[in-house]
Amino acid sequence: MGSPNQHQLSQATLYKGYKSLDFQNKIYQEKALALALKYCQIENPQIVELGSADDTFLDLVVSKLKGKGRGLDITKGDNFEEPLSPKSNSTDLVIALEVIEHLFDTDFFLTEIYRILKPGGLLILSTPNLASITNRLKLLLGGYPKYLEYSSQGAGHLHLYTLPILRSQIISAKLRILVSASPNFLCPFITKSWFPKSLKNLFMSLGDYLPQFGSHLLIVAQKNV
């Protein structure tokens, strides 16, 4: 594995001690788990999470799917700009939530995911949506899009996606799109502890129908058999 660059070193420092599992604030995790349970029907699946931090979300997915898991993360010394350590055709499910926007070479990242997936294996990926309703309104009023960073003093986002571009890049990586969704459609209060669960479920489900306007994009893709 090659030496990390300055960006990767700063990211590793930023996310040291970062806790992965947080359904309250990371609603994309809740949606990703539901999609994994729905689409990953393989017995004892081999699961790899890219950007797993302390592996707490990975452990939950592994427990629910009764599989075996492996977490890769910059804080563990993994470098997503280099070949991934899992062997080719070894993985049934790859989870990459809020990772791709941090990387320089996103084409290589998706090519590596394709390589490690078994034929028929699944990718569940999420990333912030540049073209969310919130960002469209901010731009219209002369504001700056949420999650898009112009300084190194931030979360380290290098790219932001719209749904058509994300779908196009994933298809170019030879993966077949099964689902395009969003974990949240147009609700700024969905992560608040006082927000009613019934309304939270409603706004999350609306993201299945109008993902291009949601806060984040969620894709389920499959490597052809």
Helix (H, G, I), strand (E, B) or coil at 215: coil
For 74-119, the pLDDT digits (tens) are 999 999 999 999 999 999 999 999 999 999 999 999 999 999 999 9
| Residue 8 belongs to a domain | no
Percent of the chain exceeding pLDDT 70 equals 93
Among residues 155, 129, 110, 146, the alpha carbon closest in space to that of 218 is found at 129
CATH label of the domain that carries residue 134? 3.40.50.150
Range(s) of the domain holding residue 219: 25-223
Whether the predicted pLDDT of 129 surpasses 60: yes
Among residues 23, 21, 6, the alpha carbon closest in space to that of 197 is found at 23
Q: Would you state the pLDDT for residue 213? A: 94
Token readout for 122 is 């699944």
| Residue 34 belongs to a domain | yes
Whether the predicted pLDDT of 175 surpasses 80: yes
Confidence tier at 154 by pLDDT (50, 70, 90):
confident
| Residue 17 belongs to a domain | no
Among residues 153, 191, 212, the alpha carbon closest in space to that of 30 is found at 191
